[in-house]
Every structure is written in structure tokens, then in C-alpha cells.
Structure 1
Amino acid sequence: MRQKTVLITGATGLLGKQILLELLARNYKIFAIKRAASIIPINSENIHWFEIKSFEDNLFQQIPAQIDFVIHAGALVSYKKSDRERIFEINTDWTTQLASHAMEAGVKKFIFISSIAALGKKSTDHFIDEYTPISESEFLTNYGKSKRKAEESLWKLSKEGLPIIIFNPSVIIGPAKRYQSSAQLFAYVSDQKPFYTKGLINYIDVRDVAKIIVESIGNKIINEQYILNNSAISYHEFFKTIAKQLNLKAPSIGVPKFLVIFGAIMENMMSKISGKPVTLTMETAKMAGNQNIYKAEKAKHTFNITYKSLEESVEWTVSEMQKFREL
């Protein structure tokens, strides 16, 4: 029996690395895409690494095998205004191009990792699910807009015959470089910043996300969309959980949204002087005070998963990041 093949983008990222481990455990033959500057995180005879040179390249013509499934986890997560053009180029245009090539190649399923940032926000009770309507007045970051446009392109292609699944994870908790992905939140506490915003953070462990994604390959479900979220908690409690694991003082001064925006302006000014990466941009500041809770009952029912606790996720993340001196 032929070994099932998977093409995965974003394979060197926080989520991508965990997906690789899940795929290896289930004996898939993997074709992993990386950028020239990216370091290969896992070596295995079942992983074949390919370097992407242009987002316009047809990867299916370069890979010497029939691809059964695609997991498109590659994206640019940025909230910097200066990255706008690049965000849409990678998150929207590349996704559309890759999906079109996948349809031509006859893949059995195209799995797209989107984000809760792309979902509609027109809710009267702050609860959001896969069917929450879109409002013209809602605030969306460029990242959220780029992911939403990518989703719209995929739904159009699904009507033309491309079998798709879209996942919208919340903040994915797991080990990464100090100022990448959710690791920025751990760095924020590690840097002993005193402030926290009076809002909610929706979160999920990267291992839970990877497990669900890989399980979706083997089932018969197509043309569905799922929010992936464990729970929501205040930023104050979230930071306290991290601080406890680090044996540090947690941010203790709650600030209203207008002060968060002022802080973003000041931090951006200081970043230009010091050269230190910015952890608070204008876009992230505008998201401050978020009270939305993302309902993931659909995914929980379909995949029957028990999520890892926040304490377990934080303990593992801190331990792994400390091994590599990222905290």
C-alpha cells in the first residue's frame, strides 16, 4: 500500500514543527517547505525538505511525488503597518495560488490554517462562532483582513472542486523564539513589564492544534470550518500564570485602552532608538480590551479532544524556551 503524502508549508514555525511530529507519528511521507534562511527543525527519512524560491512557483511540479494532502500553515503574522503589502502577498495571494495549483494536482484535501482574527465580530453577547456575521464597522487588523480574503478565495475554489478545511485557531501557546508568535507574551512577563490590558485572551496549546489538524487528514470531512480554542481568560490571570512559572512578579497595573495606545506610540519610538523588537504595535494596542469569547463546540464535538490546561501549556512552554535560553 502506497504511503500517504502530505505537503506542508510553514513547517519551521511554532505550529508547523508540532504538525511534523504528529505526521511522523502516523507514518506519513512528508514534503516540507522552508525559506532559504530557515533552519530545519527536524531531520527524518520521512521528511523531504524543499526550499521555496518564489511564491509564484508551482510546488507540485517540483516535488517528485503525487501529493495526497496539503496543510498550509505558512503565513506572515505581523501587526506592523509597514508590513501591509507583504502580509497580503503571503497570506492572501500565496494561499490562493497554492490552492489553485493543489486543485490542478488533484489533492484529496487542502487544509488551511487561518485565524480567529479573520472571523466576523457582529455579536451582541461577545460570543463568536464560525457563523457570526461580518460587520462593516468591525475592526480588523491587516493580518485579519489578509486571512479573511484567503478564506473567501478558498470557498470559491471549493465550489470548483477543491476539498477544503479551514481552521481558525486562537492564540497558540507553545515554545518559540523570544519575540515570535505567542512567545512575545512570555517575553513580556520575563522583561518585567508592569502593565496589562483589561481584556480577554483566547488560547489553545499548539499540541492540541496539531493533533486536530492531522486527525482531519484521515477523516472524510470536507468543506467545513472550525474554530480551535480552549478557553478565554483575562490577560491579568494569563500573565500571572506565566509569572508564577518564571518565579517573577506579574504585571500588576491594569490600564485602559487609550493608555495602551499611548504605550504603543512610546514603545515604537523607543524601539527606533534602541533597536529592540517591538512587542506592542498600534494594531495590537487597538485590540486591547477585547471581551470576545470564541466558541469551539463544533470542533470539540467533531474531534472529541480534551484540551491541555493553561498551567500545563505554560509549564511546558517555559521549560522548552529556557532550554534554548529564550527566557
Structure 2
Amino acid sequence: MSLEELLAELRDLGGNLSLGAGGKLNLDIPVGVLTEELKEYLRFYKDDLVELLTPKAVDESLSSWEEDSVLPGSFKFSPPRRSHDLKVVLLTGATGFLGKYLLFELLSQTKCHVYCLVRSGGGDSPLDRLITGLKEEKLWQEEFARRVKVIESDLSQSRLGLTTPEYESLAEEIDLILHNGARVHHGLPYHSLRATNVIGTQQLLEVAAAQGKPFHYVSSLSVLPAMTSAGGERFLEMDSVEETPAPKGGYNLTKWVGERLMEQAAEKGGEIVVYRPGPISGHSETGTYNEEDFLIRLVQGYAAIGLAPEGETALDVLPVDYVAKVIIWLAMRNSLRSKTLRRYHLLHPEPVSSELLFEACARAGVAIERVPYSQWHDQLSRIVQKEERDHPLYAIAGLFSSREEEGVVNDDFSLEIPYDDQAAQAALKEAPFKRSKLDGALFDRYLEAMKLKGGILE
């Protein structure tokens, strides 16, 4: 159960969450309706709920992102210790949307055993949660069981929440780290995401450095300036994030800091590969989607209020199944090289107009009126002012500003994207799979999946 699903369940049961003295989490709910399962999820998401209910304030005593983006002077990679055959891959974030598909591709494309670091909580064991998640996506195969090892862990804790013997044996047994795990929340500030997204990354780098193991980091194109603000500039895969301004938004900033750590780790002898995926959409065939995805929330929000801003936007989404195939394909072919830092931009090189998405909405019977941006933004502001936390747009409202504030206009619509992906395309020439086409049929599948799941109503 996701955090949003928990909030919706509590709302349907007549529950009301609030913060009491000292930051105590209070729940006012009718007697007899709170099940043991819901109590377990409340304990699991306690920190997230407190964060959502706490008025945001800047704590100047917190470690700054500038300090976090520098590895200790004593950090160094040991000489590589590996054979020519990868046997064990350490994967983080395997219970997340992309992570499930990465695990599936690792087990399908390779003969490797996969160690998965999984956080405890939610009532089920980490192994049960992992298997249930893959079954929900129709990815689980019983023969996978003998090659998957789940290790109860927490990226936000010292030594990843492991005992000293567990921590040391982990570094000895694995042959490669694929770090995909992160706390994803576009509405939270940097310091709220720092422990998992930055400190966790630092600790995993230390695991890799101890035995000279390759480190593959799933970052995001959001570490670079957005398409709307890039102007005529083009960003190459070889470009360092140090050459670009730190991005806005806590989550994006944690990824930017993570990339700075990767660059320094490579300078200190590490074999580092960075993947920068752009927007990740649902499955190309089933339409299965991530409920936390920005585009999904946006469409659900448009449908909920029946309004969307006028104008066109370039959509360069890549289906999750394709992104996972690409990352594992590249990882397996980069794992036996001793070159320096390599980066890959993963995006659709042939973006389409957002009009295709609105046409799909119309075919699905979802009525959305196109209005001036200012009118739509006023409606968004009211959602925030009323604290409609269960509204699809609430969690992403902070990513939008009034165009009067930013001077944003959309008169110069273009399908040209400023991110170069020549290295990725060159490496994928021999890949046995093809990229999905962005067309009306794909968006139709996404709309149908949302309707079936109750994500949107006609």
C-alpha cells in the first residue's frame, strides 16, 4: 500500500490526521474501523506523515548540500577484484516501480544472482513484499526464487542498517552495485530526503570502494536544466553536473549531489556508470503505471478538475519496461571495462506534442476543457490553499509557478530536446529490443489502464 493509498483509505473510513504537541501524530477515526494492517502501515509511514503535516521551515543547522557533494579526502577505491564473469549483483530499490523491472531484466537477461536491499515494514516480510510487487506487475517466475536474496536493510541508517559482519560480507560477495533506490517525493525539501538519497549513496560507494567493485548509479535528467529553460544550449552525456547550476527541488538536488559524488569516486579510481533517464511512463503493452508518476498525476489532476492549460508541451517519455531493458543491457556490457566515468541519457529521441495525450483523453471519454494557464494555475492554488492532500495535483503543485512570476510563455513550442544521447544510442545498436513508438495507441493504453484501476473517471 502506497502512502497515497493509505491516506485515501483513512479518508474513506472517516479518519482525520493531525499533529499534536511535540510533533505527535494524532488520528481521529471512528471506533472499530482501524485494522491491524492499517496500524502497521501507519507505523511504517509515520515519518512521511509527520513530514507532510509539519509546516515547512528552513533549518540552518542542517548539513548543506554543498558539504554533502564532497567526498572525504580519505576516500579511495581499492584495486578492482573481479573475474571476467559477473556472478552477484547488488540491487537497491527493487520494490519500486522501475526497480521491479530492473530485477526482472537482471534475472531474464543474465544468469546472475541478485541481492536486493529491502526496507522492512508494512506488515509483510521484505521477501514477501518483493515477490508480491513483482506478481502485481506479472513479472514473477518461480524459478527466480533460487537466484534472489533479500537483505533487510535501510539506506538511511548507518552501515545501511546492517550488522558489521553483514556489511563486510556484502562487500566481499557482490561483483557489481546497481544503485536505483531512492526516496522519491517532489514536494519534500532536500534535508527530508538527504538520509536515504545522499547518505545512503555515500555508504554504498564505500561498500564498492572497499573491494574495488563497479558502481552503477540511476540518476535522472532532472539534474540538468529543464527543456523550457535550456534556451539554445545542448547538454552532452560527457558533461559534468558541476558545470550546470544545482536544480530546484529537494529530490532533484539529491540526485545532483549523488552525481557529484560519482564524479569524484571515478577520479579516485572507481569504475562508475551513471544513467540519466528522462520521464518514465507505464508499460508499453499493458499500460501498467506508477501512481506516483508526474505525468499520471497530471492527467488525473486534469480529469479531476476538468481543466488543463492551453498550449503544447513536448512529451519524451520512455516506457518503464524499455528503460529497464536498456539499463541492464548497458550495465552488463559496461561491467568488464576499466574506463573512467560513463554517462548515458535515456530519453525518447522523437518526442511528440502533448496534444496526442489530450486526444487520447477525448477518445477515452475524459472531458477536459483547455483554459488559459493563469486560470488553471488559480485552480491549482486553491487546491493547495484548501490543503486537499488527496488531490492528484497537490503533491506536484510546487513544481508549477505563475507565469507572471517566472516569465514563462509557451508561444515558442518546439519538439527539439536539449539532451544529447549519442553514447546511449551507439551502445544500443546491437540491442535485441526496439524502442516503443510514442503515438496515440500508446496513450490509449495508458488511459485504459487508468480507467480500469479507477485512476480517472469519465
**TM-score, with normalisation over the residues of structure 2?**
0.61
Whole-Å separation in 1 of the counterparts to 2:218 and 2:277 = 8
- Report the residue type matching 2:221 in the other structure: I
Whole-Å separation in 2 of the counterparts to 1:254 and 1:104 = 57
Aligned pair 1:265/2:381, yes or no? yes
Structure 1, 171-180 or 95-104: larger mean CA deviation: 171-180
Whole-Å separation in 2 of the counterparts to 1:238 and 1:289 = 21
> Equivalences for 1:65-84 in 2 at 5 Å?
66-80=173-187, 82-84=188-190
For residue 240 of structure 1, what is the aligned residue in structure 2?
A: 359
The Cα shift of 1:276 comes to 3.9
Q: Is the 8 A contact 1:240 1:251 kept in 2?
A: no
Change over 3 Å in CA distance of 1:135–1:111 after alignment to 2: closer
Q: Is the 8 A contact 1:179 1:187 kept in 2?
A: no
Whole-Å separation in 2 of the counterparts to 1:124 and 1:178 = 31
For residue 36 of structure 1, what is the aligned residue in structure 2?
A: 120
The equivalent position to 2:297 in structure 1, one of 153, 162, 184, is 184
Write out per-residue CA displacement over residues 115-170 of structure 1, whole angstroms, 9 at most, x where no aligned residue. Answer: 1110256844264433388455x863222222111100111011112211111111
Whole-Å separation in 1 of the counterparts to 2:420 and 2:367 = 28
- Report the residue type matching 1:34 in the other structure: V
Instruction: Give the structure with the larger strand fraction.
Output: 1
Whole-Å separation in 2 of the counterparts to 1:206 and 1:216 = 15
Aligned pair 1:142/2:250, yes or no? yes
- Report the residue type matching 1:228 in the other structure: L
| Cα root mean square deviation, aligned | 3.3
For residue 170 of structure 1, what is the aligned residue in structure 2?
A: 278
Where do 5+ consecutive residues of structure 1 fail to align? none
Q: Is the 8 A contact 1:236 1:251 kept in 2?
A: no
Aligned pair 1:99/2:205, yes or no? yes
SS of 2:351's equivalent?
A: strand
Q: Is the 8 A contact 2:171 2:208 kept in 1?
A: no
| Identical pairs, percent | 19
- Report the residue type matching 2:357 in the other structure: F
Structure 1, 232-241 or 311-320: larger mean CA deviation: 311-320
SS of 2:368's equivalent?
A: coil
For residue 249 of structure 1, what is the aligned residue in structure 2?
A: 366
The equivalent position to 1:227 in structure 2, one of 333, 336, 345, is 345
Aligned pair 1:282/2:398, yes or no? yes
Aligned pair 1:14/2:97, yes or no? yes
Change over 3 Å in CA distance of 1:64–1:279 after alignment to 2: closer
Change over 3 Å in CA distance of 1:152–1:192 after alignment to 2: same
The equivalent position to 1:208 in structure 2, one of 297, 307, 322, is 322
For these two proteins, the number of residue pairs brought into alignment is 320
Q: Work out which of the two has the higher radius of gyration on C-alpha atoms and give 1 or 2.
A: 2
The Cα shift of 1:172 comes to 0.2
For residue 308 of structure 1, what is the aligned residue in structure 2?
A: 436
- Report the residue type matching 1:110 in the other structure: F
**TM-score, with normalisation over the residues of structure 1?**
0.82
Aligned pair 1:56/2:173, yes or no? no
Q: Is the 8 A contact 1:189 1:239 kept in 2?
A: no
SS of 1:79's equivalent?
A: coil
